[in-house]
Structure 1
Amino acid sequence: MEESKVKDLTAYKNRFEEDASSFSEFQARDFVKELKNQGKTDEAIEVGRTFLEMAPELKGYINYFGYALYNKYINIDDEEISKNESLFYGILEEIAKYCKQERYSPLEAAVNKAIKHVLKANPVDYKKLSELLDYLDAPALEDKPFVNKDGKEFESKKEKWYRMKVRALYELESYRACVETANIAFTYNLKWHYNNLNWVKYYRASSLVELGRYEEAENEFIALQGHFNAVDSFEILYKLYMNTNREDDAYTLLIDKFFKGGFDYKNIEDYKKISAMAKAKGQDKAHALAECLIKKLEEENGKTYEADVDLADYADLTASDAFDRVYSEVVYHLENYITRHEGKVVFYNHDKNFGSIFQDGEENLFFRQADFLDDEEVEKYDVVEYSVIKTYDRKRQQMSSKAVLLKVLYEEINY
């Protein structure tokens, strides 16, 4: 097989020396293209810049000129970039100035290289990241997922752009722009990958909190709860409720988590919240026992804790003993902490262990057997006591509520 011959560029070079403005569209394109392809990068850059000055009407060579810049200054090791970042970003700006976002353009490749460089820094410069993303026209980006040679599917360019832009705007405290950008992302029929959609929802909801749009934020975090474990939706909702004078909602959520979480050092922050709740509600015994639990548990894990009450009466308790007593003081005296309701069970599925409670003028309230305080046999027409938390009905894709912390009071026999 014959090797392809290297094109002789002597004629082009002579013409260029005589009068760069005399080149036709084809000649300029062919000249810069050949210089780049022959590895004569510096010459390709020099010729391209001369054409920009001497023959601004010529356009066909621009992307080849841009790729020459990309090869020399952009597509280099991070260590080399770090030696002269001002040059790196200056060249990127030059590429962005002259090269359109189109097929065969170096613009996307150059921006992506810069983004990778920024993301490797610790901490990430989100201002720079946002500026880099602005070089690209998001609506024009490819929305089809990328599939590698092994058939594995990855996020599309458009999905990636919105994922990063929403995060950057949140980190820059541009909360309104963050929400607006996320809203635009949701209008596209994107196939979301990994947890990208949930992250976009998370930063949008967090921005809504900062903007004081608490109900919208609450609904979003509730929808994420139990579905997106990368963030602690409980912690966010608890703070949201406490900061918006909704202590009853916060304490109901807290006690429900305490009831289900059991005795575990990883729940130490929840125990501290239980202690603070008991103190705020004037439940001195529960508060002292919670302080004892925290102190003993910290000590058993090689740490110290300064209790805010005298614990002399509980000196002999182990952390496990203290937990059991806190549990009894809180879970079996819920009326001291949160709002309780009474209602009649009007439906119960014994096979699936869930049912509903009648609510006058409202949709019946859902409950699960697992949310009863004790292992009780539940039957239709039982009158139960319960509290309520907001939930998200994934089947119907809407906000809902459910009963938690239930106990059977008595069986209603007049039916």
Structure 2
Amino acid sequence: MDPLSALRDYTIRGELDRIVRLNDEFRFGSDYSFPCSAETAYRSKLGSLYTLETLLYFVRNHHVKHIEYLQKARTQGIPAVTLPDRKPLLEYLQGKVSSSDAIEFLVPPNTINLNLNNSRFPDLPLASSLIPSESTAPNPNAVDNFTEPTAQNADLSSTNMIQAIERPLKDRESLLECKQRDFYSVLVASTKREEERQRIESQQRKDGLVAKSRLMGSEETRYGDESGYDATPKPKMHLKGSKIGEGVPIILVPSASQTLITIYNVKEFLEDGVFIPTDVKQVKGAKPDCVTVQKKFSRDRVVTAYEVRDKPSALKADDWDRVVAVFVLGKEWQFKDWPFKDHVEIFNKILGFFMRFEDDSLESARTVKQWNVKIISISKNKRHQDRTAALEVWDRLEEFVRSRSHS
């Protein structure tokens, strides 16, 4: 009797309570004994053979909801039966069906007898099961049936006996399984290393910009001294009417958490072309007042740095002259106390963007469509499309800045 047939027999008879675990074995009353980890002949749709421990735990808990059963099995450290296998497996074990395509008997069930009377070698077949019966034994008087005993025949007989009691302990699928292994800590560690790397690169870029600015300032001063001209640094941006003011351009983002782009994830989106939800990116501690971003994936030699802020109330009059773009929330109250008459004046002087998921209802953008803003759509799941959306923001932003600088 093989483990699967024995378990099915006891399930049909309603004698599962007679199956007792003793150390690393399951005792089926006084009839059979099998290792707990013995693989049965029932193969999962995922490809691996179920162990006796898995099937016994399942048939005893089949009445429990699948999610609760998975949690209990994980707590016990027992591999669980998958959802697609539940119904056909239970029908077979309860005797509702007589066979299943998932069953692969490697050894005929009546070949091995695991009677506990053979206590020393319970897995070995009885000699009687390997000796041909009288009905099948060859007739020694028949000439055609007589075979001269040879060493080759003896070897074949020994090989058949060995193969009859063989059973696989591990297959390729079970060897690849990592039981009771949790890789969450590996994910957390790798994420922290990546964030630290990005922080260091960002700081290096800022330091490089400062050093370059100082170097250019010293060269201009030296050139002015030698030529007699006034070498006082002239502002690259000057506010006259709608021109950009002196200093680093500013991009405003909403401080509300329900918007897609915030001060927490704007750097990854604009610099790396990857959208990371705020609730994933947000870290503990004080929120930054300002974030510096650059267009990293540009072939241009001249790269402009931008400041990203989310507190318009903290801006001074000169700061408002440097505001070039705003990511809108889609609510009128976002522009409360802004130094402009209305949103028409705002979006004539400042470039507006509205970020949305492409499968969101159009109702969410109803108010925004009345404004002079660009609607940027991204996918909820297809992160490889984020780069295209970020490039569209950069293209419109750079064109807008050039037009304001020359107006």
Normalised by the length of structure 1, the TM-score is: 0.25
For the pair shown, which has the larger CA radius of gyration, 1 or 2? 2
Q: Of Structure 1 and Structure 2, which has the larger fraction of its residues in helix?
A: 1
Q: Which has the higher contact order (CA 8 A, sep 6+)?
A: 2
The two structures have a TM-score, normalised by structure 2, of 0.25
